[in-house]
Amino acid sequence: MAPTMEQLRFLTDDQVRRLQAEFGTPLFVYDQASLERQAAIALGFPAPFGLTVRYAMKACPSAAVLRVLTGSGLHIDASSGWEVRRALAAGVPAERILLTAQQIPEDLADLVGLGTRFNACSLGQLAAFGQACPGHEVSVRLNPGLGSGHSNRTNVGGPSASFGIWHSNLERVIDTARDHRLRITQLHTHIGSGSDPEVWQRCAGLTLNLLRHLPDVTTVNLGGGYKVGRMSTEVSTDLQRAGEPIAAELRKFAQVDGRQLHLEIEPGTFFVANAGAIVAGVIDIVDTGKEGHTFIKTDTGMTEILRPSLYGAQHPIVVVPKEPGDRSTAEYLVVGHCCESGDVLTPEPGNPEGLLARTLTQVRIGDALVVDGAGAYCAAMASKNYNSFPEAPEVLLSKDGAFHLVRRRQTLEQVLQNEAIPEFLR
């Protein structure tokens, strides 16, 4: 059965037509009001002894988005040294950045010297940090043995995840820190993308149990991964409901241990998922006969949004007719512009190999098509330049209703600028 007809989340039909005419398609558009609203909700997360909320910038590293969220009081979680440098370039103070990376940057000592904090995710990383920055404070990421997520690809805890130091290696963590005179002042755990408060409470309990062996820890970071419902039928995590049992665990720990732990959380999707959309154009309509399907072909796809092809992720899709007026509805499959059979925007939920038609406003070539819920892991995680399509522009919708270009459309010259033809081929 085709999913329910979706409505635009923060744009109006007239605004979509304006964007299509002024900037061309495809393009990303982000909503300042939505970003600030989500930041305010997260900053109200229950934390009896203080709270720092970090934005996991890998979700959407646009400088304009970073400015809006850090201006709202958020700090930054960076997943590479390059992200640290990108945040610094956007004006984020180094002391508000925590680096949690799979790969240690070559300039780690320089970044720490600027004030960036480091979160060691393996015994090797901890030793390397100790060699580069002996005597420093450090955060350590432990895998508590518990994971959560809507698929194995979004589960970053438990025995199937490579993220963090396995909890039974805690003595080796302590020995390594002692060898390099490091003070472990923060403990970090992250179990993945889920929405069950009981799982988060269990994770908090496991994390706090580990702290009994780490007397210098004053801050505990429980990661992010709070589920956001993009489709109207999906449920989002209630941060108050998720946070209350965690706050209870922190109070209980304070009574037993005497330490009042500062709490950090670091959502990414929560802030930006529904604050972003892709405005695309309908470029063709084809069918495969009475027993087949009718396809809408768009000028976006894997080059801007990979999640449907990767996870079978569901995104609201809304047709905005070029000319206002009533139209009937029909069932369509929506596909992208890449010469790739997997470039499908309407897969079955959780099954990128399957297809599921959508009931949409009847389309004509030239209409706009909006893919909503496209703020997180879309512009940041796409098959950029596949088929040599240039990177799409980004636009910020400010609270006064104005549109601001915050990233220009890439040119072919920019796509090619780092290529070099060796002398023997000339």
Residue 414: name the closest of 383, 391, 382 by CA: 391
Proportion of the chain above pLDDT 90, given as a percent: 82
Cis (ω within 30 of 0) for the bond into 26? Answer: yes
* pTM > 0.75: yes
Q: What is the pLDDT of residues 83-115, one digit of tens each?
A: 999 999 999 999 999 999 999 999 999 999 999
Residue 239 CB coordination number (10 Å): 20
From CA 402, how far away is CA 409, in angstroms rounded? 19
Confidence of residue 195 (pLDDT cuts 50, 70, 90): low
Helices (H), 72-196: 81-89, 108-114, 123-132, 170-179
Coil, helix or strand at residue 175: helix
Confidence of residue 159 (pLDDT cuts 50, 70, 90): low
Residue 128: phi and psi, rounded to 5, are -65, -40
From CA 384, how far away is CA 372, in angstroms rounded? 19
Helix (H) or strand (E) holding 22: helix 13-23
Residue 371: name the closest of 355, 360, 362 by CA: 360
- Structure token digits, residue 319: 């047709």
Q: Is the pLDDT of residue 27 over 60?
A: yes
Q: Which domains does the chain have, with CATH numbers?
A: 13-29+273-416 (2.40.37.10), 32-271 (3.20.20.10)
Altogether, the residues listed in the chain come to a count of 426
Residue 96 CB coordination number (10 Å): 16
Q: Is the pLDDT of residue 338 over 50?
A: yes
β-strand pairing of 276-287 with 294-298: antiparallel
Least confident of 33-42, 162-171, 314-323: 162-171
Per-residue confidence (pLDDT) for residue 206, from 0 to 100: 83
Helices and strands (H, E) in the chain, number of each type: 12, 20
For the annotated catalytic residues, the residue numbers are: 339
Residue 74 vs residues 35, 77, 130, 264, 267: alpha-carbon distances, Å: 11, 10, 28, 11, 10
Q: Judge contact between 275 and 235, C-beta under 8 A.
A: no
- Structure token digits, residue 13: 């039909």
Instruction: Quickly tell me which residue has 């199937």 as its tokens.
Output: 160
When pLDDT is averaged across residues 271-278 and rounded to a whole number, the result is: 98
From CA 282, how far away is CA 284, in angstroms rounded? 6
From CA 398, how far away is CA 33, in angstroms rounded? 7
Q: Judge contact between 370 and 296, C-beta under 8 A.
A: no
Per-residue confidence (pLDDT) for residue 155, from 0 to 100: 38
Residue 232 vs residues 127, 223, 311, 314: alpha-carbon distances, Å: 47, 26, 19, 10
DSSP letters, 284-346, are: EEEE--TTS-EEEEES-STTT--HHHHH-----EEEE-SS-S---EEEEEEE-SSS-TT-BSS
Per-residue confidence (pLDDT) for residue 149, from 0 to 100: 44
Per-residue confidence (pLDDT) for residue 171, from 0 to 100: 94
Per-residue confidence (pLDDT) for residue 148, from 0 to 100: 45
Cα angle: 120, vertex 124, 127; to 5 degrees = 75
Q: What is the pLDDT of residues 30-89, one digit of tens each?
A: 999 999 999 999 999 999 999 999 999 999 999 999 999 999 999 999 999 999 999 999
